[in-house]
A and B are shown apart, each in its own frame.
Chain A
Amino acid sequence: MLQTSNYSLVLSLQFLLLSYDLFVNSFSELLRMAPVIQLVLFIIQDIAILFNIIIIFLMFFNTFVFQAGLVNLLFHKFKGTIILTAVYFALSISLHVWVMNLRWKTSNRFVWTDGLQTLFVFQRLAAVLYCYFYKRTAVRLGDPRFYQDSLWLRKEFLQVQR
């Protein structure tokens, strides 16, 4: 059974990482006095996304549903989050690489191209969706039903067996 204190701790960590992600997405363009600042911000942001992925998977592994062997059920329920997180991670890394590559020599110059603008829009939109789905998943995983045997789980199990 998931302990309340543990869950609160994990949830706050997840929200901390999410807020950092949102903060960097919002204000990284302003913090470009030196290229190193942006580089560090981006690296930490990518690591934060990676951490969030690891945490959400650890939470999956901790559920009774997963331990009962219903991995498919769990992944089916949260496939949106998993896919979006992966996509967002890929988009972030590519955008960061691109931007840093363009700005490394002179940080405060106009680097925008149509390609970069498009990638930027998709990355930022994905960020919002990722934030929403991730938050929803993290909150939903607090439901005690995921951590104990229940009628709901048995029904799902029967459906999976069919």
Chain B
Amino acid sequence: MSPEWKSQLEENHLRPPRALPPVPSAAQDDILLNRPKKKKPRPKHTLVSTSLDGLVQAAVHKPPKGSEPPTEEPIEHPEAPVQRRYKKKRQSLELETSFTQKKVSSPSSLQNENGVDVEPTEEAVIQKPRKKTKKTRPSELQYANELGVEDEDIITDEQNSPEQQSVFTAPTGISQPVGKVFVEKSRRFQAADRSELIKTTENIDVSMDMKPSWTTRDVALSVHRAFRMIGLFSHGFLAGCAVWNIVVIYVLAGDQLSNLSNLLQQYKTLAYPFQSLLYLLLALSTISAFDRIDFAKTSVAIRSFLALDPTALASFLYFTALTLSLSQQMTSDRIHLYTPSSANGSLWAAGIEEQILQPWIVVNLVVAILVGLSWLFLSYRPGMDLSEGMKEKIVLKYHEIFYNDFINLLL
């Protein structure tokens, strides 16, 4: 076959593929990578372009012929190899820059090597790959767009400059965005693939977007609410415990506290553990009650106390109960170490039992009353009781109110 006939044949075969639908990117990539090797078998593909693959490859390899303008006379064809040589030369020169080095992998390099000319066909040839990339790699293009560069602005073929230009003229500087991003790494700008770079930044963006969903304020609020729940539990538990304790004491002491030695015998193992438990619950309840009236703002706390606000009263009662309970630590320890007065080194001399136990029982009674009252006061205030009415509306309203309070509190 003469080259003229071949090229004409190819042209005829190749024209239709240009308008072909987009090809899967994998196939395209393969072709791109293997392109140099397939230069020789090219005619075969173009001739047997019935299958999709064949068509694709034909479409890819067509450009070498595209360098020969379709309108040109067959006489001009012999010039084609010369032009190709020029192009190769130019490319080898450009390969020295990092910019062109990486071009090989990009779809644009295809056109460059194809040597698309200024001829009317150029536009069609340029547009086709663009279509391809748009359809086959939409995600990448999307990323690329996010870097603020229009795809149309990217130079897809630097070889666009007319072939007629002298090889020796310096390349006319075309200041246009390219498909690469130059990232400064260790004081050098290195070309990086835009899509990859954007992918990494995209990941970071995603993680950044996740943050606002759970801020430190939310953590603080949730902790606050959790403690509120603990406090709510301890209020009730403490009230129940104190009442149970005073009932047990009175039952053991008998009528008119006549059987105090029995009380000491029975209660001595219980006294200290209960004292410890009482302190723990009182501490929790006091802290919780202080939280509710915002005790740290003394003026507000005093004002609400003077206004006989139930919560303020409750926290005051809790604090009093705590003090009273702590003041009985010594007596509790004495009960804990109880031995009959007959025993050697007994702390309990005969006859002092009632003298010691009387105030202790009274204090315990007062503590129980205070604690019970506090619990009543706290549960009196509506909106504070989460155990009742767990209806969403109430809870939401409560949360809203609480959140606003919290914000005001902070400022």
Contacts and interface: CB of A to CB of B under 8 A. Distances in A.
Given A29-B333, A110-B334, A120 B219 contact: no
Contact of B291 (A26, A136, A143): A136
A63 to B, nearest CB: 11
Interface string A14-49: 010000001101110110000000000000000000
Contacts of B279: 25-26, 124
B272 A29 contact: yes
A8 B276 CA distance: 30
Interface stretch (A50-58, A65-73, A85-93, A126-134): A126-134
Nearest to A140: B410
B273 to A, nearest CB: 6
Contacts of B217: 142-144
A143 B220 CA distance: 8
B219 A7 contact: yes
Interface in A63-113: 80, 108-110, 112
A136 B223 CA distance: 11
A137 to B, nearest CB: 9
Contact of B410 (A15, A135, A143): A143
A128 B322 contact: yes
A124 B223 contact: no
A142 B287 contact: no
A133 B326 contact: no
Contacts of B224: 139
A124 B347 contact: no
B211 A110 contact: no
Contacts of B327: 117, 121
B296 interface: yes
A109 B287 CA distance: 32
Among B214, B218, B219, B280, residue most surrounded by chain A Cβ atoms (within 10 Å): B219
Q: Interface of chain B, helix or strand or loop or mixed?
A: helix
Contact of A4 (B216, B273, B277, B330): B216
B211 A128 contact: no
Contacts, number: 101
Given A4-B219, A142-B217, A152-B411, A128 B273 contact: no
Contacts of A132: 286-287, 290-291, 295-296
A22 to B, nearest CB: 6
A127 B219 contact: no
Contacts of A109: 337
B287 A4 contact: no
Q: Interface of chain A, helix or strand or loop or mixed?
A: helix
Nearest to B329: A120
Given A128-B322, A133-B296, A30 B276 contact: yes
Contacts of B92: none
A108 B334 CA distance: 11
B216 A143 contact: yes
B322 to A, nearest CB: 6
A42 B217 CA distance: 34
B283 interface: yes
A25 B411 contact: no
A112 B337 CA distance: 12
Nearest to A127: B283
B214 A4 contact: yes
A13 interface: no
Contacts of A143: 216-217, 220, 410
A9 to B, nearest CB: 10
Nearest to A23: B280
B250 interface: no
Contact of B283 (A26, A108, A117, A139): A26
B215 interface: yes
Contacts of A2: 216
B316 interface: no
Nearest to B284: A22
Given A2-B216, A7-B219, A29-B272, A125 B296 contact: no
A121 B151 CA distance: 77
A144 B216 CA distance: 7
A138 to B, nearest CB: 8
B227 interface: yes
B343 to A, nearest CB: 13
A117 B330 contact: yes
B223 A131 contact: no
B216 A30 contact: no
A11 B337 contact: no
A117 B329 CA distance: 7
B216 A128 contact: no
Given A7-B220, A29-B329, A125-B322, 9 more contacts: A7-B219, A8-B219, A22-B280, A30-B272, A80-B296, A112-B334, A143-B216, A143-B220, A145-B410
29 contacts: A4-B218, A7-B219, A7-B220, A11-B219, A11-B220, A27-B276, A29-B329, A30-B272, A30-B273, A30-B276, A108-B337, A110-B337, A110-B347, A112-B329, A117-B327, A120-B326, A121-B329, A124-B326, A127-B283, A128-B282, A132-B290, A132-B295, A132-B296, A135-B227, A136-B291, A136-B296, A139-B223, A140-B410, A142-B217
**Which 3 interchain pairs have the tightest Cβ spacing?**
A142-B220, A26-B280, A112-B330
